[in-house]
Amino acid sequence: MDNTEQNSNAPEIDNPQAGKHLCTLQTISPLVQQINCLDLQQIGKICVEQIPKLINARFASLYILDEISDMLHLENNNHPFLINNIVSLNQANLSPMIKAVRSKDLVVIENIKDHKLPVIAANNRKFAGNYKSGACIIAPLICHNRIVGVLNLADKIGADKFNAEDIAVVELFRQLVGASIGNIKLFDKTQQQAKTDGLTNLVNHRTFYETLERELHRYQRYGGYLSIIMVDIDNLKPINDKFGHRAGDITIKQVSRKINACIRKIDVAARYGGDEFAIILPNTALPEAIVVADRMVEEVAGTPIMWERNKIQVSISVGVGQYNGEMTPEEATKHSDSALYAAKLAGKNTVKIFDPTKQPA
C-alpha cells in the first residue's frame, strides 16, 4: 500500500486551535441570544457571571449611565468586596473609567500600577489590594454612538494580562450589550411618554384614571382613606389672549411644578385637561388633603410668572374630596370637580370641599 492510500484511510488529525474556536462559538451563541432582551437584570447577570468566564476574568462590574445626572450607577457585580455604587463623570480627576467613557474606546490595562494614560495615583487605587493582578479591561457600552454604560473586567486568571482573543470577545459583547441596554432605555422612554403629558411631565388623563381605579380597589379591600384634589388655573384664557399661547404654556408648566412641589412621592399628579389638574393622595384623610390644597393655592398665588418683562399674576381654584372604594373613579372625580366649581363661583383663588353629608340623597 502506498503512502497516498495510507493517508486517505488514516483518521483526520484534530486541530486543537479549531476545536477551541468551535467551543468558544458554541459558548458565545447562546449568550448572544440571551442578551438580546428587554430584561436588564438578565443582561447584568450574564455580564458578571458568563462573560468573565469566556476570558478568564475573576471580577466584573456593570454600570448603567444616567444621562440626565451624568452618573454611572452600579447595576451588577461579582466582587466579594465593596466597590463604588455611583461614579460621577464630572470629576476633574480623569480615572480610566471616565477616560474610557469620554473616548468611547475600549481601554485595556496590563498593569494598573504602571498605566500611563492617565497615570493612576495610589490614592485612586484604593481597591487595588483586592486584586491578584493589575490587568483589567474597561469597555464602554455603546448604542447608536451614545454611551449607555460600562462593563469592567479585571484580574486575569492564569496569566498576567488579557490577550488579543480576550479583547476581541469583549469588543463583541460590548456592542451587543450596549445595543440591548439602548433598546431597554428606548422602550422605557416610549412607555413613559405614553403615560405622561408632554408639556408638564405629569401623568396624563388616561394614566390618572388607571391609577385611581387601582387605589379605589385597594381601599375597598383594605380600608383607609383616599383624597382627590382637582385644580383649575384661574383666567388662563385672558393670559393667552393678552400674551399669547406660549405664555399660557409657561403658566401651565409653572403651576404643574408648584403642584408637584406640594405633594409626596406616593401621591400622583396628573394634567387632567387643558388647564385642569387632578391629584390622588393615597392614605390621606380630608383634613390632611385640605392642608395640601391650601398650600398649593398659596404657592401659586405667591409666585408671579415673568414673561417678556411682564409680571403675570396667577391663581388657582381647588376642590377637595375624600373617598372610599365604594365609588367608581368617575364618581370620585365628579364630586371633587363639583367642589372645584364651587371654588370658582366663590371668587377663585380658594379651596372648597366636597362634603357627602351635605349632598342630596
What are the structural domain ranges in the chain? 10-193, 205-358
What is d(CA 161, CA 133) in angstroms, rounded to the nearest whole number? Answer: 8
Q: How far is CA 352 from the centre of its chain?
A: 37
Q: Using the 8-state DSSP alphabet, how is residue 116 labeled?
A: B
The whole-number pLDDT of residue 133 equals 67
Please provide residue 306's backbone torsions phi and psi, each rounded to the nearest 5 degrees.
-95, 125
Q: How far is CA 29 from the centre of its chain?
A: 30
**233 close to 301: Cβ distance less than 8 angstroms:** no
The whole-number pLDDT of residue 27 equals 80
Please provide residue 194's backbone torsions phi and psi, each rounded to the nearest 5 degrees.
-70, -20
Average pLDDT, the chain: 86
Instruction: Decide: helix, strand or coil at residue 72.
Output: strand
pLDDT along the chain (361 residues), means of 10: 43 43 70 92 96 94 93 94 89 81 91 56 52 83 95 92 93 95 92 88 94 88 88 95 94 96 96 95 93 96 90 95 82 91 95 70 36
Please name which of 163, 141, 179, 159 lies closest in space to residue 64, comparing C-alpha atoms. Answer: 141
Amino acid at 294: D
**End-to-end Cα spacing for the chain:** 112
The Cα angle at residue 239 between residues 234 and 240, in degrees rounded to 5: 115
Amino acid at 157: I
Residues in CB range of 286: below 8 A, 6 or more apart: 225, 227, 320, 321, 322, 353
Top-level CATH class of 205-358?
A: alpha beta
- pLDDT tens digits for range 288-304: 999 999 999 999 999 99
Instruction: Decide: helix, strand or coil at residue 142.
Output: strand
- pLDDT tens digits for range 49-106: 999 999 999 999 999 999 889 999 999 999 988 888 999 998 767 788 898 999 999 9
Fold observed for domain 10-193: Beta-Lactamase (3.30.450)
> Could you tell me the pTM of the whole model?
0.63
Helix axes 245-261, 286-301, angle to 10 degrees: 140
The whole-number pLDDT of residue 358 equals 57
The whole-number pLDDT of residue 96 equals 84
